[in-house]
Amino acid sequence: MKFSPLVQELIESFKCLPGVGGKTAQRMAFHLLERNRQGGTKLATTLNKAMENIGHCQKCRNFTEQTLCEICESPRRQQSKLLCVVENPADVIAIEQTGEFQGRYFILMGHLSPIDGIGPDDLGLDLLENELNQGQVKEVILATNPTVEGEATAHFIAEMAHSMDVNISRIAHGVPVGGELEYVDGNTLSHALTGRKNYQV
């Protein structure tokens, strides 16, 4: 048996979501049709609005429907003269939740990965270079992921920023809070040892 064309199309459309295959898509479609029409309509209008209006912030490349995102517009954050470079918008949220950081962000939307064909031009590094050239930033914090590609990206940016009058720092690597040394992998542990700090009493 086949579904009517529109139902089929709805199911097919759900499949574009990550981790959603045929069966899940079918379940989602039936759920909306049978139990939650209102939610479905809301999803449709929001999705439509979002897809049309959301772009990238002109300064930090985060997703926003305005030209500048909220963080970039805030004068208080501008004053701190700190710029944190991260890979993904999700990283911004993670850092924001700590409440530790009061500066601005720059989002690369990925990392250098030659095999996947992602080069320096795809990460908006020209935008970052402009930003640094304007002299509004005193310190760049490289908060790319602690993977080999993340390190490569950090190094690339550090080289770029080297000639400019900015401090460059990299987030520390180490043992997670509440973790057990026994279960930490050797790589992390050796990073933690080489990057050890003086004990302040």
Partner 1 sequence: MIDIASPQSAFLLHSRPYQEHKLLVELLTEQEGKVAAVVYAGKTAKSNKKPLLQPFFPLKVQLKGKSQLKSLQSVEADGRSIPLVGSDLYCGFYLNELLVKLLPELIPCPELFKLYHQAIQQFNLAGSNEPALRHFELSLLSELGIGLNFEQALACQSDYVSFSFDEGFSESLKGKNAYLKSDVLLLANHQFNDQNALRTAKLLMRELINQLLGNKTLNSRKLFKKEKK
Q: Of 25 and 69, which CB lies nearer to partner 1 in the complex structure? A: 25
**Residue 152 burial (CB < 10 Å; 0-12/13-18/19+)?**
middle
The residue within the footprint of partner 1, chosen from 148, 164, 172, 193 (CB under 8 A), is 148
Alpha-carbon distance 98 to 136, whole Å?
24
Closest CA to 136 of 186, 75, 194: 75
For the window 161-180, what string marks contact with partner 1 as x by the rule CB under 8 A? ---------------x--x-
Q: Of 99 and 114, which CB lies nearer to partner 1 in the complex structure? A: 114
Give residues 40-99 in contact with partner 1 (rule: CB under 8 A).
none
Show the beta-strand stretches assigned E in the chain. 55-56, 63-64, 82-86, 104-107, 139-142, 167-170
Give residues 107-146 in contact with partner 1 (rule: CB under 8 A).
112, 114-120
Residue 92 has φ and ψ, to the nearest 5°, of -60, -50
Q: Of 71 and 108, which CB lies nearer to partner 1 in the complex structure? A: 108
The residue within the footprint of partner 1, chosen from 5, 75, 99, 186 (CB under 8 A), is 186
Alpha-carbon distance 15 to 18, whole Å?
8
Sign, Cα dihedral of 96, 102, 104, 110: negative
Rounded to the nearest whole angstrom, what is the least distance from the CB of residue 201 to partner 1 in the complex? 31
The residue within the footprint of partner 1, chosen from 109, 127, 152, 171 (CB under 8 A), is 152
Size of the site for partner 1 (CB under 8 A): 24
Rounded to the nearest whole angstrom, what is the least distance from the CB of residue 125 to partner 1 in the complex? 9
Give residues 8-47 in contact with partner 1 (rule: CB under 8 A).
19
Residue with tokens 């990392």: 111
Q: Of 64 and 153, which CB lies nearer to partner 1 in the complex structure? A: 153
Rounded to the nearest whole angstrom, what is the least distance from the CB of residue 22 to partner 1 in the complex? 14
Contact between 104 and 47 under an 8 Å Cβ cutoff? The reply is no
Measured at the CA of 146, the angle between CA 18 and CA 132, to 5 degrees, comes to 95
Contacts with partner 1, residue ranges (CB under 8 A): 19, 112, 114-120, 147-148, 151-152, 155-156, 159, 176, 179, 183, 185-188, 190
